[in-house]
Structure 1
Amino acid sequence: MEIKAIIIDDETRARMALQLLLEEYCPQVTLVEQCEVLADGIKAIHKLKPDLVFLDIEMPGHSGLELFDFFNEEDIHFSIIFTTAYSQYAVKAFKFSAIDYLLKPINPDELVTAVQRFSRLKTQNLKVLRDNLEQNKLNKIAVPTGNSILFLEMDQILYIKGEGSYAEIVLIHGEKIICSRYLKNFEDILGQHNHFVRVQKSYIANINYVVQYNKSDGGNLEFQNKICIPVAPDKVEIIMERIALIKR
């Protein structure tokens, strides 16, 4: 499987060193661009649509951790391996759902492991997509959780809350499931069903369980169990239309 990659790093030596390592140890990786500044890297990502980005964290003007500030959620179809000389960034890197982080100078074995991890996760993502196509016929959704895939009945989902590159699925009995998926991924799958609506930037609601719309506090939806979630004013009309459609 060919992997299209971009390197974003302000250090010329670091870019050249990584390129040589990739050529020698990871022949499946094809470098399509190398960028010295984050702004050029953002343009290259939009234009070339890489599978993988090797991203330095410490760069003049911007931190690599700011990359996602320049993308809409639906435009993020690439993964990141952070490269840094500072180990304290490791936790932050994984909060951004990075595939891995590599400490400079980069160890060839660690580079190979990181690229292999990306390949495994990409294969898993394709499996999840296939599973969702199949499970949709059974009104189920495939949710990757760690090393396994959980099949949830859609009617068990109360709402889903997006938090960056993660999503929290709240079930009708109160159980919460955390998975490393963007809310947009769930919207694409659940949007085919009238009872799931993206009611706000960070929420998808199962309106089968909505009992009340409250105008107070900016507007919120109340479920049967008294839980409330915010709703955007421009979503109220479509929610009411969907509820009316379901009750016919």
Structure 2
Amino acid sequence: MKVLIVDDENKARRLLRCIIEELFSEITTILEASDLETGVALIKEEQPQIVYLDIEMPEYSGLQIVEFLTEEEINFQIIFTTAYNKYAVDAFKITAIDYLLKPIDKTELKLATKKAITTLNKANINTQLNHLKNTFKQLALNKIALEIPKGFIFVSHEEIILFEADGMYTKVYLDNGHTEFICKPIKHFVEQLSNLTFFHKTHRSYFVNIKHIKELSKRDGHHLVMSNNMTIPISKDKRNEFMELIRETFNI
């Protein structure tokens, strides 16, 4: 039997390979890919029976596999390996697709792989994947995924007070008093939330939720006081645009 591991983390691929080799003598070939495009090419060329597919990868999510393969080409079983927290895992429970939470547990891997071997060619994986993608879209309608060391947390847009740049990282201040340190630049969040008019960049280092503005002061240069009492500067080059936004939003 032939399987494929698709994960951008080399360490994660090595660990999964070792466990599979230990548990399944019937799996004779283990292929690896560090991104979805390479994985798709291997699927077409090697025809694996099982694909262990990470969701969060650079460029393309594992869920986008249906965009690269026709329904006829998806004739293998998929087991997602994911660091998503329990809220996102609920989406998997709605479908028949299996998943493994990182760090991988041997017992769970064994059960998922045995199930995949048993059900090979018995399920419409394409339909299941599309169902799963739609479920994640519903989950994301009013929430944003924040990647933390233990996985992901999902917070509603209204819970976010502001984003603060810290080099190539971003601090996310939430209305519950917590601050999350995210391994992505602030530009990532500005682009992701560009369609939401209540988020605005007042300064190269700050991206604020105007719903959480408590005070706007013109003293000592324009600045904001947010609901968590942080003082946020409004840079000169953004001042006119921001003041116009405030006037339109609050009818002042």
TM-score by length of 1: 0.47
Report which of the two structures shows the higher radius of gyration computed on alpha carbons.
Answer: 2
